[in-house]
Structure 1
Amino acid sequence: MFDHLPPHEPRVALIHYWLVGMRGGEKVLESLCRMFPQADIYTHVHVPGAVGPVIGAHRIRETRVGRLPMAARLYQKYLPLMPRALEEIDLTGYDLVISSEAGPAKGVIAPPDAPHLCYCHSPMRYLWDQYHGYRGSAGALTRALMPGLAHRLRQWDVTSAARVDGFAANSTHVAQRIRKYWRREAQVVHPPVAVADFAAAPRDELGDYYLWAGELAPYKRPDLAIEAFARMGRKLVVIGGPDKAVAKLKARGAPNVTFLGKVPFDELRHHLARCKALVFPGEEDFGIVPVEALASGRPVIAYGRGGALDTLREGETGLFFHQQSVEALIDAVERFEAAPLSDPDPALLMAQARRFDEATFQLGIHDALDGIGFDSRRTGRPALRLAGV
């Protein structure tokens, strides 16, 4: 389709929904920045200092949403204005457009000879598969406004998907939702995980506790883990915030459940390497923490849906339960205790984690760009030494 390769250093535009913190989506953007160090970044809202130096070194331009009152804090309230703001971005002169989609990002209008690859972390959950849950938990005014606004946004979301030349999805689960809601196929390119930052602990340092780690968001189901372990009496350590959620969950916990709140990275790494297993009861699009646990030489007990099906191997690196219930999780823990997986070979788990490192991600992006006719190996700047490149 796009068989013309520009003779000059390609001008690359990276479109990201918002830059207000450093989470999984921003780690993907960071790796794209290393691949294309001269790229410009367009985003709805940018909070200076909220992202790392790799992203911060690029020229970052906000859409008009970023100039609205208190946009840094209320950016999600401005969601209905974001489609038009994206379409106002002038991408004239760019040779390649890569959008990073979880909030509105893919709806830009690319030049006719510039291929557009969308890396999709998730179709917008609050419009599609989790719409009723979001609406049910919203305030009265938002609940009243959501049906009309969401209807129009869905129409735009599907229309804008047709403008994209190729999709890359962060998991098989997300690729299936892209097919369901946008009627487009997507190549699965798992996001980069900094597996080299983790290491297994000596055997004599292993603890007798299980670990839950992440943001204490309802869909991650920390409540399920807390109630199951309170009932079993086995030790559970819970890492994550915000503080308000910690206080709420602590009230329903038990003496055998320890809440550490947000902790420094070294403390998280310490517990990942020494827990009996990571407990992962939520359904996530990909899920970075299970891979970090594997990179630390520890197995995972996970709900058998979503990205966990891509990252874990049943009976080898993880154990699944298939109902999000306290009883199912308790059964899984009891099965785990009796299984060989409770005394795993750390090298096997760490080898599985390396399948999701940054070099593998960047190679996948190169392949996805090749699929839409852009030879990034000749015109881009891969940051890592990749096999066969």
Structure 2
Amino acid sequence: MTTEKLDNSDVAIAHDYLTQRGGAEKVVLALQRAFPSAPIYTTLYEQSTTYPEFASSTIITSPLDRIGPLRRSHRLALPFLAWAASRIRIPARHTIVSSSGWAHGFVTSGSKIVYCYSPARWLYQRDAYFGSSKRTPRRLVLNVLSPFLKRWDRRASRTATTYFAISTVVQQRIKDTYGIDAEVLPAPHTVDMTIRQEPVELPAALAAEPFFLCISRLLPYKNVDVVIQAFNELGFPLVIVGAGPEERRLASMCGDNVAMVKNLTDGQIQWLYARSRAVVSASFEDFGLTPIEGAVHGKPSIVLRWGGFLDTIAEGVTGVYFDSPTPSDVATAVRDFTTRDWDGDRIRAHAELFTEEHFARRLRDEIARIDALPTGGRGEAAS
């Protein structure tokens, strides 16, 4: 249910926008399970395009949420999100903020515990975020707004009580951008093995043998095109799960051995993981959740040696790396992968390091630490 009524609570959850299905939204669901009575504050909420589990949450939105086109395409809202974020007031004693650039600017009356996926990519890693395109309307708007948004963003960072980083690469990025020393807290996997698997309709050629699996938002920095080109060369079956601005271009690149699907249920995702040979990703990933989700099913991974993947892969045990996001490097790594034997039990054991229980326990410990402070946690983040 969506409402704009403000309710006092001990713990609240904040998130940039709930308009899509991805790793960040899975973390919010994990937070909701850890703090089931906590309301969720967000700028935009579109029930039809995010996870259905949010329908049973108390969701409090910004005034921007009244504009339907912005709910259905949050990227159109980019010029207005700083304004919307600044107008959200959260009266909770503690707010746990799930943020990649906006929710850390929500105004809180109590402590603000920020769980950061990355300082805003569209401000500090613009080329990676937008790709090679130089003159798209959104990019031109950002060129104009960037000086204001950077000032707003850095000011928002200073309102935090505690900063957590999702990975070591994000920890360093937070230090470089904000001057804040953040603790690394890996995101939890949210795989529920009790969910009934649901088949996904695939071309007969792909369904006939174990396929490789790439699950990703279809954005330039995810480098899904590189994976497609590598598998076109290899001829091995590949299933890509995801949606995004790159969808039409990527679909035009796919050979007969590559299938693209989207808008799947959790049961369908589980079905794909269970029948896959390995997870593949060439993305510049700040964390890299899909290798962990694959590991829960005993599946190894083939991923770029970069960023969050350095924290989530045990090389030679749960997966192999390639050194650059090029079709030739991906193809070489896949060939190397096929020469090795993989122990599903060891891979599943590695996934146990990334449980919701560990994640929630660390956040509860932080809330207890803040409660013990004379000020109750009000003040700026450590730097």
Please indicate, yes or no, whether the TM-score normalized by the shorter chain is above 0.5: yes
Match runs of 1:20-99 below 5 Å:
20-48=19-47, 50-52=49-51, 54-68=53-67, 70-92=69-91, 94-99=92-97
Cross-structure match for 1:378: none
Q: TM-score, normalised by structure 2?
A: 0.82
Counterpart pick for 1:184 among 146, 159, 180: 180
- Aligned equivalents of 2:38, 2:54: Cα separation in 1: 10
- Aligned equivalents of 1:145, 1:247: Cα separation in 2: 24
- Aligned equivalents of 1:154, 1:116: Cα separation in 2: 20
Amino acid at match of 2:322: F
Q: Does 1:366 pair with 2:368? A: no
Cross-structure match for 2:99: 101
> Which segment drifts farther, 130-139 or 289-298?
130-139
Q: Does 1:222 pair with 2:221? A: no
Q: Deviations over 1:101-157 (max 9, x none)?
A: 12411112322xx22101112221111123565285365443433222012101111
Match runs of 1:298-313 below 5 Å:
298-313=299-314
- Aligned equivalents of 1:57, 1:16: Cα separation in 2: 16
Cross-structure match for 2:5: none
Q: Which has the larger radius of gyration?
A: 1
Instruction: Report the aligned-residue RMSD.
Output: 3.0
- Aligned equivalents of 1:330, 1:361: Cα separation in 2: 35
Match runs of 1:314-329 below 5 Å:
314-329=315-330
Asked if the contact 2:220/2:246 (under 8 Å) is kept, the reply is: no
* Long gaps (5+) in structure 1: 1-8, 200-204, 376-389
In the TM superposition, what is the alpha-carbon distance from 1:15 to its structure 2 partner? 1.7
- Aligned equivalents of 1:195, 1:69: Cα separation in 2: 31
Q: Does 1:166 pair with 2:162? A: yes
In the TM superposition, what is the alpha-carbon distance from 1:335 to its structure 2 partner? 2.2
Asked if the contact 1:101/1:119 (under 8 Å) is kept, the reply is: yes
Q: TM-score, normalised by structure 1?
A: 0.81
In the TM superposition, what is the alpha-carbon distance from 1:220 to its structure 2 partner? 1.8
What is the count of residue pairs matched by the alignment? 356
Asked if the contact 1:29/1:55 (under 8 Å) is kept, the reply is: no
Asked if the contact 1:34/1:54 (under 8 Å) is kept, the reply is: no
Asked if the contact 1:281/1:302 (under 8 Å) is kept, the reply is: yes
Asked if the contact 1:196/1:295 (under 8 Å) is kept, the reply is: no
Counterpart pick for 1:153 among 135, 149, 153: 149
- Aligned equivalents of 2:58, 2:211: Cα separation in 1: 45
Secondary structure (helix, strand or coil) at the match of 2:121 reads coil
- Aligned equivalents of 2:143, 2:247: Cα separation in 1: 32
